[in-house]
Structure formats: C-alpha cells, structure tokens
Amino acid sequence: MNSTPEPFENTPADAPVNATGDGAVNTDPAATETATTRAGNVVPIRPDTARTADEIPEQDRFADAGTVLDSADVEAVDASGQAAPLKPVDPATVKPSWWETVSDATARPLVAKWLTSAEEFRSRARFLVRYAAHTFAFHALRVPVYVPTALLRAPGALCRLTARVGRWMYDAESKPVRMNARDRNDADTYMKLREARNETVRRRSAPVMVAIVVLLATVYLCWTFVAPVWNWTLLLATLTAVGWWGAPQDKPVAGRAVDAVKTPKLTSAMIEDALCSLGIGGLNQAIAKGKRIEFPNPIARDGDGWRADIDLPLGVTAGDIIAKRQELSSALRRQIGCVWPEGDAKVHEGRLVLWVGDRDMSKAKQKPWPLAKPGATVDLFKPQPFGTDQRGRWVDVTLMFVSVIIGAVPRMGKTVTLRELMMIAALDPRAVLYSYDLKGTGDLSPLAPCSHAYGVGDEPDDVERMLVEMRELREEMRRRTKVIRALPESVCPDNKVTPELAARKDLRLAPIVVGVDECQVWFEHDKHGAEFEEICVDLAKRGPALGIILILATQRPDAKSLPTGISANAILRYCLKVQGHTENDMVLGTGQHKNGVRATMFARSDRGIGYLVGEGDDAKIVRSVYKDATDAKKIAAGARARREAIGNITGYAAGESVDVEAARLDPLADTLSVFERGEDKLWSDTIVTRLADLRPSQYGGWTAQNLATALKPTGVKPKQVWSTDPATGKGANRNGYARDALIAAKNDGA
Ligand SMILES: Nc1ncnc2c1ncn2[C@@H]1O[C@H](COP(=O)(O)OP(=O)(O)OP(=O)(O)O)[C@@H](O)[C@H]1O
C-alpha cells in the first residue's frame, strides 16, 4: 500500500547528520541535483562536515517554526519537477506570559542580608565598635610622638604652603604658555596672555591680602589681650596642625592603626580568563566559536567575599570546574582556601556558583563557639552550632533523630569533629554517652567523665567489652520499642521519642548518643565484625526514632569499613577530604559526586572543612570547631557538673565496670546443649526458642538470622535439614543445623 509521502522529515536523531538514503554524501547543499530522493520527494541534506545545528549553512536551515515561511524558501522540487512545500519541524516559539516569567523568578532580598540577620548585624556592630576603639587607643598612645614630629615638620610645611599660595596668586601655571609665545616672537599672543595674567594676579591678590591682614590682626589682638599661656598653646596647636596637614604624603605624621588586606574585586573578565586557562576542552572550544560564559546575576559581595553565578557553555558541567579547584585558585591568583566552586543542580548541571572569599577559610579566625561558654547547656532536640560556613556564619545541626557518618582520609579532622559532636551531646545533661576511640590514642578521653560507656583501643578484651555494651544497647533499643508501642496515641502520636517523653524519668527515654571513631575496626573484626555490623545497622535504622543517635567516623569509607546498611541509612553526613568519587558517595550519599557535591576538591590544607549533608536541603561547606584536648576537658568538666546536679552519672563515669565474663556467650556450646537426646538435626527456629528458654537475658528475642550471625565465626552455616514440628508432628525441610557439624566445629575450635 502506498502511503502519501511526507514532503519533509528531519534527520533521525541517531542517524549520521549527513547520511543519505543510499549512503551518498552531499557536498553541495545548495545543489538540488545532488540531493537525495526519498519517496519521490527531494530531501534537503546537510553538508557532510556539519556536526551541530550551528554548523549548517544558513540557507539550509529552516526558519523557526512560528515565523511565516516564504514559499520560495520552503519549496523543494519533487521528481516530477513540481514544487512541494516543506514542513517545519522545530517547535513554535512560544513567548512565555509575564506571569510565567515572574512566577519562577527568584525574589531578591528586600534589604541587605546583614540587616535581617540579627547575628550578622550584631557582628558588624561589634566590629565597628571594636575598630573605633582600637583606632582611638592606637593614636591616643602615640600623641607624644605625633606632636613633636608635626612641630618639626611645621616650618617645611609653612614654606610649602607659602610657595603654593604664591604660585597660585602669580598664576604660575600660565608661565610656560607665555614663555612659549615670547620664544616664538608672537608679540600679539604674548601681550594678550600677559594682560590675562595681570588680570588674574589682580583678582587673586585681593583675598590673599585680606587673609594676611586678618592674620596680622588676629596675631596683634591675641598678643595684646590673651594670656601668654593661651597664645603659646594656640601657636603650638596651629603649628602642629600645619605640620600634620603639610607633611609629605609618603611620610605622614600618624601611622595606620590597622593594616587592611585589600583583596582585588572579582570581575567577569577575571573569571572568564581563569576558566579558559583550566584546559577544559569543551569550554575552550565553545569560547573559540564565540560562545560566551554567561553571568545570570551580577557578581556581588556575599559575606566576606564575592559570589558569581555562572552559566557554563553548553556541555560543560560545574563538576568539570570543581575537579580543577586548585588550578582555578591559581588562575584567580587566590589561595586555595578562598576559592569555593559549587554546582547548583537545581538550576542545571552547567550552573556554577563561585564564591571567592577574602581570606583562606582554613586560616580565617573562627568565631568563638557559643557552646564553649561556661555554663552552656544543650537540648539535643534543638539545632546546635556545629561549624562555620565560608562566610563565617554558624551552621547548626540537630542531632536528635539522625544517624551520623563522618568520613575522610587520615589527618583531616574526623576525630576532632566526632569529639565536637560528643561534646554537644555531653552538654545535654540527660543524654547517655557511649564513647569509643578505636584508634586508641585517647582523643575521646576528655569525654570519659561524662560517658556511660567508654572504650579505647582495639585489644581483644576492649573489643569484647564494647560488644557486650552494644548488646546491652540493642536490648535497650528493644525495650524502647515496647515502651513506645505501649504509649497511647495521644501521648506519642508519631511513634517516636519526643522532648516530653524524654523528660519523663519513668519511661527512661533520654537521648543516647554513641560515638565511634575509626569504626572500621569493629566491622572488620574477624570474630565479632558481623555482630557489630548487625547491631549498628539496627541502631542506624531504628535508633533515631527511639532517641538513639549513632555517630560513626572512619578513614576508610568503603563497603567493608562502612557497611552499606549503615551508609544507606545515615541521615547526617559530614565528609572531609576524600580521594575518589566512590568514597565521596559512600559518605555523602549516592549521586552526590554527580550533583557537584565533591569532597574530592578539598585540599590537604582544608583541615576540619567538609561537606555537610542532611541538615537543610542543600549540601553546605562547613568548618567544624577545633577544640584541643585541654579545651575539651574544660567543656566536659562543665557538662559533668550539670550531670551531677541532676544525678545522671552512670556506668563508666560512675566507676561501674562491665562484667564481660558473665556476659560472655558461647553460642556454639549453647546451641549444642539445646539438642535433646536422639535429635541429630534441628530447625533454626526451634534452636532459638530453646536458647531463649536457656538464657532469656542473652538470647531473648534472637531470630534465626541472629543465630546464623553468631555461629558464622565457627564456620557452621545453616542448611536445609529434615525435622519434625513437635506441635503438629509434621516433618519438613527447613533451615537448621546438624549436631555433627556443630560438634565438628567445636572440636576444630578446641
Ligand atoms: N575544625 C578544625 N579547624 C582547624 N584545624 C583542624 C580542625 N579539625 C582538625 N584540625 C586539624 O587537623 C588535625 C587532625 O585532626 P584529627 O585528628 O581529627 O584528624 P583525623 O582525620 O581524625 O586523623 P586520623 O585519620 O589520623 O584519625 C588536628 O590535629 C588539627 O590540627
């Protein structure tokens, strides 16, 4: 069946731009003779060198749809020589309405940010007062030097002043022109200039003469009527003022009270030059073709720096620039700690937000931490100051209802950050702290006096004790689930711990904060790794709603050292420098590297600076608070005093120790012991029921999975075993264990 041929169709997206029906390539787009015939119509084709729409010669392009096409332009010649109208394929240009344009627009702040932010206003006011006080004190101290210096300079200044007045009165500036006329023997011009000069001198001498008379009269009157002491004072003051005012510019009487570092203004030309020097192929090609780097908003001051919003040329992404932060800082002639390129994927992948600070963020003085003040207390349900952003403003975190992961390469500030978060927790007197320093250097020791559980090091005994404590914690989590479940909806509508519930002593739902530095030591432990992982995954998933906050820090953020069950469930994420995109996404969440949130861009010198994700919608660059061990001890001492006041010193802080022996479990021996005479195989479900009867405090609530995890280190794995249901008497194949396999494992281990 013959269908009516379409007069024109566009080249399919996946076809070569100039492919013709028979593989021929058109080299002369204007020549209809060489055009390919398709279904009886002549299909205009593009020159074979064209790769993009821009490269197609003007005459080959069809006018934008929406514009009226001239029939001569759109006609092609069909096989019979008849002109056939061509059909436009581009969408019609739709002019958005005023409403559509403005409803998507971002409103600019009505007043400057520092006027609406009380904190910023106070900080500016404080700065002005401090500046004025310093300047006053600086100059006041130097008055005894300034006065003699000015007096010494006064004669010279007087001479220079007299000479200047003389030159002005006698119109010295016209002298070269008059002399020139004289040298040229141009008598006419010379006489005119002389006349003009005499007139000027006459006009100017009058006020000078008046000033001299007034001066002499003043001197005479003072000499006659004013006491000599005042005359001398006046004379000295006048000479000081003249000496001060008339001092040479390069030798002022007063020095500068402050040395301001003037950072150059950030201009679009500077940014363009810098971006073009990065060696990004796509960017340089676009510039060579005359495309521009666009600035959708004016470059403006933003905090202590400049902010530029940049639309990169087509095909260039913000990530391309972020990956070259070091080169960019060199190209902008700024320290690397001043240059902060970020993507704004909410607009598009090519939007770059470049913030260039006046000072290196890692070296700029951080504002004093409000929580370091004596007497500071914290409510973990409320946001607390965690660090400062590039503009020096505080960034808060709310620790309640989150699990936290901190990751970075060694020596970037993980421990300092973890210690800071634990200090925040310690300052809430209700909070129960579990502090574990698996690096073993004692970085968390300042928090020991406030900790219910404290562990340091990775010796087998230390790890075992920590495991016992973590098992207890899991039991506590189970208890909490039951408490929450039992509460009426009117008291606990969201099935999670609320500030009111946490305050009730009878429920024992106070926040519990677990901080683990170098957590990979737990998860990679050959004997207890699986159990630690199981407990921590459970805590990361269910803990937040139950008031249990797990904070893990690791220097090796990979699947082994930070199990995916935890990394996928963490809510608050802080990533200092990492080496690759895998670690980046492991800590900050999948897809963050692609979105331009790249902790790989941090330099070695960016200690304590990282991306914070999970507080608010956007990722923020934040510098945590660095408190050394001495300061941390002071803060912890204050926190302990407040805990003592409410009677919340428990566990390690109260000198209690964990009975590891009593808590030591031997799941293999216990499993063997629940086999009754004549039973060779038992289902896992039957074993865990019997284990719960054997030691309810240890095995109560165990599932078949818990049993599998506990037996894993012995090498015994669950298999399908035939057994009989004691209730129904029916036999079936289910997951379970054979006595022989358990005995063999016991003998191997013995
Ligand atoms: N917020 C910060 N501000 C300034 N300097 C910091 C900050 N945080 C950390 N540092 C500096 O970085 C150093 C290393 O910090 P820290 O011990 O926390 O690193 P780490 O990543 O835990 O190292 P490791 O992997 O060896 O455990 C600190 O001694 C301190 O000098």
Residue of 363, 365, 389, 412 to mutate, ligand 1, most atoms within 8 A of C-beta: 412
Rounded CA-CA distance 566/550 in Å is: 10
pLDDT, tens digit, for every residue of 444-493? Answer: 999 999 999 999 999 998 999 999 999 999 989 999 999 999 999 888 88
Residue with the nearest Cα to atom 9 of ligand 1?
413
What distance in angstroms lies between residue 409's CA and the mean position of ligand 1's atoms? 11
State yes or no: pLDDT of 10 exceeds 80: no
625, 609 contact by CB (below 8 A): no
Q: Which amino acid is at 293?
A: I
- Is the C-beta atom of 624 inside 6 A of ligand 1? yes
Closest CA to 314 of 295, 287, 296: 287
State yes or no: pLDDT of 44 exceeds 70: no
The answer as to CATH 2.60.120 being correct for domain 665-749 is no
Give CATH superfamily name and number for 386-652: P-loop containing nucleotide triphosphate hydrolases (3.40.50.300)
pLDDT of res. 694: 86
State yes or no: pLDDT of 215 exceeds 60: yes
Q: Which residue has the higher pLDDT, 596 or 372?
A: 372
pLDDT, tens digit, for every residue of 386-406? Answer: 999 988 889 999 999 999 999
State yes or no: pLDDT of 34 exceeds 90: no
State yes or no: pLDDT of 305 exceeds 90: no
Closest CA to 91 of 75, 69, 73, 67: 67
The CATH code belonging to domain 268-357 is: 3.30.980
Q: pLDDT category, 225, cuts 50, 70, 90? A: very high
pLDDT of res. 45: 41
pLDDT of res. 8: 38
- Is the C-beta atom of 114 inside 6 A of ligand 1? no
- Is the C-beta atom of 520 inside 6 A of ligand 1? no
State yes or no: pLDDT of 332 exceeds 80: yes
pLDDT of res. 717: 92
- Is the C-beta atom of 511 inside 6 A of ligand 1? no
Q: Which atom of ligand 1 is nearest to the CA of 410?
A: 25
413 labeled part of a ligand binding site = yes
- Is the C-beta atom of 415 inside 6 A of ligand 1? yes
Rounded CA-CA distance 627/633 in Å is: 9
> How many alpha carbons lie under 13 Å from residue 252 in its C-beta half-sphere?
5
State yes or no: pLDDT of 507 exceeds 90: yes
pLDDT of res. 168: 94
Q: For Cα atoms 83, 88, 89, give the angle at the middle one, nearest 5 degrees.
A: 140
Q: Which atom of ligand 1 is nearest to the CA of 411?
A: 23
State yes or no: pLDDT of 255 exceeds 90: no
- Is the C-beta atom of 121 inside 6 A of ligand 1? no
Q: Which atom of ligand 1 is nearest to the CA of 387?
A: 1
Mean pLDDT of the chain: 84
In sequence order, what are the residues at sequence separation of 6 or more whose Cβ sits closer than 8 angstroms to the Cβ of residue 370? 376, 385, 394
Residue of 518, 576, 626 to mutate, ligand 1, most atoms within 8 A of C-beta: 626
- Is the C-beta atom of 170 inside 6 A of ligand 1? no
5, 40 contact by CB (below 8 A): yes
- Is the C-beta atom of 607 inside 6 A of ligand 1? yes
- Is the C-beta atom of 627 inside 6 A of ligand 1? no
Cα distances from 79 to residues 38, 84, 355, 661, in angstroms, run: 10, 10, 62, 97
- Is the C-beta atom of 322 inside 6 A of ligand 1? no
Residue with the nearest Cα to atom 28 of ligand 1?
413
Residue with the nearest Cα to atom 15 of ligand 1?
413
- Is the C-beta atom of 299 inside 6 A of ligand 1? no
Helix axes 704-711, 529-542, angle to 10 degrees: 150
Q: Which atom of ligand 1 is nearest to the CA of 623?
A: 1
Rounded CA-CA distance 57/227 in Å is: 95
- Is the C-beta atom of 608 inside 6 A of ligand 1? yes
Residue of 365, 369, 395, 415 to mutate, ligand 1, most atoms within 8 A of C-beta: 415
367 phi and psi angles, rounded to 5 deg: -60, 150
- Is the C-beta atom of 411 inside 6 A of ligand 1? yes
Q: Which atom of ligand 1 is nearest to the CA of 553?
A: 22
pLDDT of res. 83: 59
| Domain map (residue ranges) of the chain | 1-94, 143-245, 268-357, 386-652, 665-749
- Is the C-beta atom of 293 inside 6 A of ligand 1? no
278, 328 contact by CB (below 8 A): yes
- Is the C-beta atom of 609 inside 6 A of ligand 1? no
Top-ranked range on mean pLDDT: pick from 180-189, 511-520, 692-701: 511-520
414 labeled part of a ligand binding site = yes
What distance in angstroms lies between residue 420's CA and the mean position of ligand 1's atoms? 11
506 phi and psi angles, rounded to 5 deg: -65, -25
What distance in angstroms lies between residue 363's CA and the mean position of ligand 1's atoms? 14
Q: For Cα atoms 26, 59, 62, give the angle at the middle one, nearest 5 degrees.
A: 100
- Is the C-beta atom of 408 inside 6 A of ligand 1? yes
What distance in angstroms lies between residue 609's CA and the mean position of ligand 1's atoms? 10
pLDDT of res. 261: 63
User: DSSP assignment of 253-266, as one string?
Assistant: SS--SS----PPPP
Map tokens 């729409």 to a residue.
53
- Is the C-beta atom of 410 inside 6 A of ligand 1? yes
What distance in angstroms lies between residue 575's CA and the mean position of ligand 1's atoms? 13
The complex's ipTM works out to: 0.98
Residue with the nearest Cα to atom 7 of ligand 1?
608
Instruction: Give the neighbor-by-neighbor strand order of the sheet with 404-407.
Output: 394-397, 384-388, 620-624, 609-613, 572-575, 404-407, 548-554, 512-517, 432-437, 451-456
